[in-house]
Amino acid sequence: MRQVVVVSDTHIPSRADELPDFVANEIEDANLVVHAGDFDSEEAYDEIRDLADDLVAVRGNMDPRSLGLPKTETLWVEDVQFVVVHGTGPLDDYEERVRDIVREERDDPNAVGISGHTHELRDWTTDDVRLLNPGSATGVDPADQPSLLLVDVDGDSVDATARWD
């Protein structure tokens, strides 16, 4: 079994000053960290990259292009494929947009999508695609508190647990 720490929308320094201690500790203790975009700065990216043993990250709409992050990323953890995308764009078609990107990028019909952008902590299925959104790691508006997801992968089983302070 492997545990993945999933975070997004840190928005440091434009909307938050620093990572909450519990987020930094989870990142530091994790074997694998997935960040679904909106670090907000090279300094925030560097901090998270330095804390994480292994970091997979995508570019959000607030990230500088100088980070060189891809718009989407796919990875396998045990027998589960994940498709990571920020979800940039209007909120009214967010769910369909993210679901369609997962469908386009996946090799496995059971792939799980990871996205950010809304700052809303969610674990849901739309049509045939499971989507995970860790909310905002710093709790910036419209989130009301910092949050992340602890995702346990055991073979082809995925169990996501919300963590907030």
Which tokens sit at 32?
A: 């694998």
Element (H, E) at 125: strand 121-126
- For 47-79, what is each residue's pLDDT tens digit? 999 999 999 999 999 999 999 999 999 999 999
Number of domain units in the chain: 1
| CA distances to 9, 68, 117, 118, 153 from 142, in Å | 11, 27, 10, 8, 29
User: What CATH number corresponds to the domain at position 12?
Assistant: 3.60.21.10
Q: Are the C-beta atoms of residues 10 and 38 closer than 8 Å to each other? A: yes
Q: Name the pTM for this structure.
A: 0.98
Instruction: Show the domain range for 150.
Output: 2-164
Structure tokens belonging to residue 121 = 């902590």
Contact between 119 and 36 under an 8 Å Cβ cutoff? The reply is no
Residue 165: what pLDDT?
A: 81
Closest residue by Cα to residue 44 from 54, 53, 30, 57: 57
Q: What is the mean pLDDT of the chain?
A: 98
Three-state SS for 34-76 is EECCCCCCHHHHHHHHHHCCCEEECCCCCCCHHHCCCCEEEEE
pLDDT digits (tens, 9 = 90+) for 8-44: 999 999 999 999 999 999 999 999 999 999 999 999 9
Spell out the residues 6+ positions from residue 116 whose beta carbon is closer than 8 angstroms to its own: 8, 9, 36, 37, 38, 60, 86, 87, 133, 134, 136
